[in-house]
């Protein structure tokens, strides 16, 4: 097993929201769980400066700055974690790469497909720097076990994929308008916030996508704001049919207006010799059916699944959302130390972006993924 770094890396964190705190906890816990040198939490950046100072003290960072450029310029910083609004991803990531830093960037990768292509190209020009996108659901022990079983042929040849990622954080029509609902600052809507996570898992389980046929919907066309009603520009939901390069087929759905759904990242894979089912709202359960059985068998997370035992030696003692991020930090650090490449990196993230942007552009017509590659060439 590749070793964790034996020399501490200097870390800068840009952003202090939901995922900023998640990154901070991962950086503080990764060596406790997996060994190696504890990262040096050098610098926290957020605006205004008072906010940065308060969160630096809470998160355990040595220093704070209001301007994000400090994270890129600081020679004590080896790694930059970027957890800011989507519209800042490209300039921050590109500046960090040009400054010689490793980059851990939250999804979605960028606002547009052209931006994502430019970022992937720049990362390819800096092979000494490791990039990683924050697709933390890929690190769930249950998901890792499912991927391994499918690749080992436990359910035979994968024939079909059915996936849904629904939440209800925008279901209330009185929810105020925000930057997330614009193309300029938010990019895609439900596809960029939620659907990309489902695509990341779909690719791991089923392999490359060759074609999508999709429809999108803006369920609430206007939202209230202090200036009066403002238009919602990006999609509240999307539906798609998928054709995989293997010949398998799939269906895909995502929504940010699905009443009652909190984190329904749910998929099932039908194989020639069985089926497998997973739901992130019950992330410690994996359901498996094999030919000849009359139903599904429930498998609880436990130390036999990848990553679980490092946190807890006892089966059935549930794994959590933030622990996924600690595993992601481990994989990132191992890649920096010369171990296996951690994914999705920027090149792999571009593939995810091509798929969700193809869905956004489809409007009911089949779109070959090669077409989107040509459009960004």
Mean of the per-residue pLDDT values of the chain: 96
What integer pLDDT is reported at residue 4 of this predicted model?
80
Segments making up each domain of the chain, as ranges: 10-136, 138-319+327-335+345-367
Give CATH for domain 138-319+327-335+345-367: 3.30.360.10
Encoded tokens for 184: 């300029």
Share of the chain above pLDDT 90, in %: 96
Q: What is the pLDDT of residues 15-65, one digit of tens each?
A: 999 999 999 999 999 999 999 999 999 999 999 999 999 999 999 999 999
Provide the pLDDT confidence category of residue 375 given band limits of 50, 70 and 90.
low
In this prediction, residue 374 carries a pLDDT of: 57
230: tokens are 């403002």
Q: DSSP letter at 188?
A: S
- Percent of the chain at pLDDT exceeding 70: 98
Please tell me the CATH code under which domain 10-136 is placed: 3.40.50.720
| 1 CB-near residues (< 8 Å, 6+ apart) | none
Is it true that 10-136 and 138-319+327-335+345-367 share their CATH fold?
A: no
Residues shown for the chain: 377
Q: Which pLDDT tens digit goes with each residue over 261-320?
A: 999 999 999 999 999 999 999 999 999 999 999 999 999 999 999 999 999 999 999 999
Q: What is the pLDDT of residues 187-225, one digit of tens each?
A: 999 999 999 999 999 999 999 999 999 999 999 999 999
Say which residues have a Cβ less than 8 Å from residue 170's Cβ, sequence separation at least 6.
Answer: 220, 236, 256, 257
**Cβ neighbours around 1 below 10 Å, total:** 7
pLDDT digits (tens, 9 = 90+) for 51-99: 999 999 999 999 999 999 999 999 999 999 999 999 999 999 999 999 9
C-beta separation of 212 from 362 below 8 A: yes
**What's the pLDDT band for 372 if we cut at 50, 70, 90?**
low
């Amino acid at each position: 097993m590749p070793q964790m770094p034996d020399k501490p890396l200097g870390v800068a964190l840009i952003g202090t929201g939901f995922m900023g705190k998640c990154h901070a906890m991962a950086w503080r816990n990764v060596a406790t769980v997996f060994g190696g040198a504890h990262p040096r939490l050098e610098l926290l950046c957020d605006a205004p400066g008072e906010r940065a100072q308060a969160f630096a003290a809470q998160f355990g960072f040595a220093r704070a700055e209001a301007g994000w450029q400090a994270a890129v310029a600081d020679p004590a910083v080896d790694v930059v974690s970027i957890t800011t609004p989507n519209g800042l991803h490209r300039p921050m990531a590109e500046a960090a790469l040009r400054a010689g830093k490793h980059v851990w960037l939250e999804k979605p990768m960028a606002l547009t497909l052209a931006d994502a292509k430019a970022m992937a190209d720049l990362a390819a020009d800096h092979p000494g720097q490791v990039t990683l996108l924050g697709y933390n659901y890929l690190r769930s022990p249950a998901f890792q076990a499912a991927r391994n079983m499918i690749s080992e042929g436990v359910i035979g040849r994968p024939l079909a994929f059915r996936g849904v990622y629904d939440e209800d954080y925008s279901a209330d029509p009185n929810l105020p308008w925000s930057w997330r609902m614009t193309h300029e600052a938010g990019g895609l809507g439900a596809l960029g916030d939620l659907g990309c996570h489902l695509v990341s898992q779909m690719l791991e389980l089923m392999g490359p996508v060759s074609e999508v046929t999709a429809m999108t919907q803006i369920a609430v066309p206007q939202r209230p704001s202090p200036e009066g009603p403002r238009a919602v520009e990006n999609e509240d939901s999307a539906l798609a049919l998928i054709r995989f390069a293997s010949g398998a087929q799939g269906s895909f759905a995502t929504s940010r207006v699905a009443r009652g759904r909190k984190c329904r990242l749910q998929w099932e894979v039908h194989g020639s010799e069985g089926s497998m089912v997973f739901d992130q709202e019950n992330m410690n359960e994996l359901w498996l059916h094999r030919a000849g059985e009359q139903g599904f068998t429930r498998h609880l997370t436990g130390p036999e699944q990848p990553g679980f035992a490092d946190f807890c030696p006892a089966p059935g003692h549930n794994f959590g959302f933030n622990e996924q991020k600690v595993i992601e930090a481990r994989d990132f650090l191992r890649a920096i130390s010369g171990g296996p490449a951690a994914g999705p990196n920027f090149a792999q993230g571009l593939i995810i972006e091509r798929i969700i942007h193809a869905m956004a552009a489809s409007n009911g017509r089949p779109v070959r993924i090669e077409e989107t590659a040509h459009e960004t060439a």
